[in-house]
Amino acid sequence: MEHELPAQRSGGDDESVGERLRTLRRARRLTLRAVSGSAGISEGYLSQIERGQANPSIATLQQISAALGLKVADLFGDDFTSGPSVLRADEAPRLALGVLGGRKFRLTPGPQHHLEVFLGEFDAGGSTGETLYSHGDSEEFLYVLEGTVKLCLGERSFTLGGGDSIRYSSAVPHRLCETAGAAARVLWVISPPSY
């Protein structure tokens, strides 16, 4: 018997990451100057992010989130419901990656207790940002659905194609970029959640 479950609402369609950052910053009664100073970015850049005029890298989002006392996953704050949670494809929280073209969608309805799953879509030359980043000390699994990507992992790098996968620690600084000049799609599974 199939059960009809209500859709898990997210901030993805109703509120952008920048708007969510502004809302959370104001709720904490923090100024742009205070948060940008703690995050190590300019006040003007933070303002552009909040107004949706700039797409921060994951590393930058981590810095801003830390300055607000949050994790990146908190920017997609869903309310907890008991029992099964459904996240409809068109409601998945979406995050622009860096400036080189890409999108990241959280596929797990929140809040995350034991794992997070993200879908990454990269345009030709797209990446997670210019700099390597790390988050927590979780086990991270990357599976390439289609295309070719390069994972920079500390001092090492790995070129992966469709069907390839790799497991690594999220504590090791890493960066992912598309390398074949065509679109690529990947799946990340992180346990425990550390975004």
| Paired tokens of 148 | 């070719």
Q: Within 10 A of 130 (CB to CB), how many other CB atoms are there?
A: 13
pLDDT of 93 reads 67
Residue 96: predicted pLDDT: 53
Q: In 10 A of CB 181, how many CB atoms?
A: 9
Mean pLDDT in residue range 66-76: 78
Between CA 181 and CA 123, with CA 117 as vertex, the angle to 5 degrees is: 15
Give the pLDDT score at 143.
96
Contact 138, 144 (CB under 8 A): no
pLDDT digits (tens, 9 = 90+) for 142-159: 999 999 999 999 999 999
Percent of the chain with pLDDT over 70: 78
Q: What is the pLDDT of residues 156-183, one digit of tens each?
A: 999 999 999 999 999 999 999 999 999 9
Q: 103: exposed, middle or buried (C-beta count within 10 Å: 0-12, 13-18, 19+)?
A: middle
Distance from C-alpha of 176 to C-alpha of 126, rounded to nearest angstrom: 9
| Angle, alpha carbons 128-133-138 (nearest 5°) | 105
- pLDDT band at residue 34 using 50, 70 and 90 as cut-offs: very high
Q: Which two tokens stand for residue 25?
A: 């910053």
pLDDT of residue 2: 38
Q: Does the pLDDT value for residue 78 go beyond 70? A: no
| Alpha carbon distance 86, 108 (integer Å) | 8
Element (H, E) at 59: helix 58-67
How far is the C-alpha of 99 from the C-alpha of 101, rounded, in Å?
A: 6
Query: Running DSSP on this structure, what letter comes out for residue 195?
Result: -
Q: Give the separation between CA 151 and CA 48, rounded to whole angstroms.
A: 29
Q: Rg of the Cα trace of the chain?
A: 17
Where does the pLDDT of residue 110 fall: very low under 50, low under 70, confident under 90, or very high at 90 and above?
low
